[in-house]
Amino acid sequence: MADRYAVIGNPVAHSKSPQIHAEFARATGEQLEYGRIEAPLEGFEHTLAQFRDAGGKGLNVTVPFKEAAFRYCSELSARARAAQVVNTLVFSGARVFGDTTDGVGLVRDLERNVGETLAAKALLLMGAGGAARGVLPALLEAGVGRVVIANRTLARAETLAQRYGVIACAYGALEGHAFDIVINATSAGLANEAPPLPASVLRPGALAYDMLYGGDTPFLATARNAGMRTSDGLGMLVEQAAESFFVWRGVRPETRPVLEYLRGR
Please report, as ranges, the residues that interact with ligand NDP according to CB under 6 A: 63, 102, 105, 127-132, 151-153, 156, 185-188, 190-191, 193, 195, 211-213, 233, 236-237, 240
Q: Which is nearer to ligand NDP, 128 or 148 (CB)?
A: 128
CB of 35 to ligand NDP, least distance (A): 19
Pairing of strands 95-99, 75-76: parallel
Sheet holding 167-169, edge to edge: 167-169, 147-150, 123-126, 181-184, 207-210, 229-231
CB of 31 to ligand NDP, least distance (A): 26
**H or E element in which residue 36 lies:** strand 32-38
Q: Which is nearer to ligand NDP, 56 or 130 (CB)?
A: 130
Specify whether 16 is catalytic: no
The SS3 assignment for 258 reads: helix
CB of 66 to ligand NDP, least distance (A): 7
Quote the CA–CA distance of 170 and 21 in Å, as a whole number.
39
Residue nearest to ligand NDP (CB): 129
Q: Which is nearer to ligand NDP, 32 or 211 (CB)?
A: 211
CB of 73 to ligand NDP, least distance (A): 18
Which residues are CB-contacts of 71 (< 8 A; sequence separation ≥ 6)? none
Cα–Cα distance list, 76 to 82, 90, 131, 242, 245 (Å):
10, 10, 18, 19, 17
CB of 126 to ligand NDP, least distance (A): 7
55-71: buried (b, 16+ CB within 10 Å) or exposed (e) per residue? ebbbbbbbeebbebbbe
Q: Which is nearer to ligand NDP, 132 or 201 (CB)?
A: 132
Quote the CA–CA distance of 78 and 149 in Å, as a whole number.
23
| AA identity, residue 89 | L
Q: Which is nearer to ligand NDP, 11 or 227 (CB)?
A: 11
Q: Which of 16, 57, 66, 121 is catalytic?
A: 66
Which residue numbers are catalytic?
A: 66
